[in-house]
Structure 1
Amino acid sequence: MGFESWVSMAMLGLILSVLVALYTRCGKTWRLLSYWHVTTQERQTRSNWHAEENRELRSALRAEKAHVEQLQRKVEILQALLPVA
């Protein structure tokens, strides 16, 4: 084997080692993307749950405000019926 053959073999070895390094990095990147996907789905689920809870709370607050207004009107009517001393 001549010098050129050794250089060719060395270059092939270098290329192979670079490919192996890229393959392992791709595996790490894939795992990172999978983890990111799962956590993003979990956050979206929690966000949807909080949004639904907020809608329910706003609805309950509107109902309570309407009830308070109704009670205030009743108090005003009853106060108007009381004799002035």
Structure 2
Amino acid sequence: MTTSDAISTGALLTMSVIAMVLLIQYLKLQDIWHMIVDCKSSMRWAQIQEGENKELRSALRAEKAHVEQLKRKLELLQALNPAA
């Protein structure tokens, strides 16, 4: 084996190692990309659920206020009609 053959073989091995490292990095980046996409989807659903929860809490507060108002009306009516 001549010197140029040894250099060519070394360069080929080095390029093979670099190609393998690049492939490994690509696979890792692909996994990271999938995690990012999943996180974005989860975040979108969380925002939707947060909005729904705000609406439900608001509706619950309105219902509680309505119940309190009806209770006060009932107390007033009972006070006006003690025979009942």
TM over 0.5: yes
What is the one-letter code of the residue matched to 2:16?
Answer: S
Report the alpha carbon displacement of residue 84 of structure 1 after superposing the two structures with TM.
Answer: 4.7
Segments of 5+ residues of structure 1 without an aligned counterpart are none
> Identity of aligned pairs, percent?
39
What CA distance in whole angstroms lies between the structure 1 residues aligned with 2:10 and 2:49?
A: 57
Equivalent pairs counted in the alignment come to 84
- The root-mean-square deviation of aligned C-alpha atoms, in Å, is 1.8
TM-score normalised by structure 1 residue count = 0.84
1:73 alignment counterpart: 72
Segments of 5+ residues of structure 2 without an aligned counterpart are none
Report the alpha carbon displacement of residue 11 of structure 1 after superposing the two structures with TM.
Answer: 2.5
TM-score normalised by structure 2 residue count = 0.85
Higher relative contact order (CA 8 A, sep 6+): 2
Give the secondary structure class of the aligned counterpart of 2:82: coil
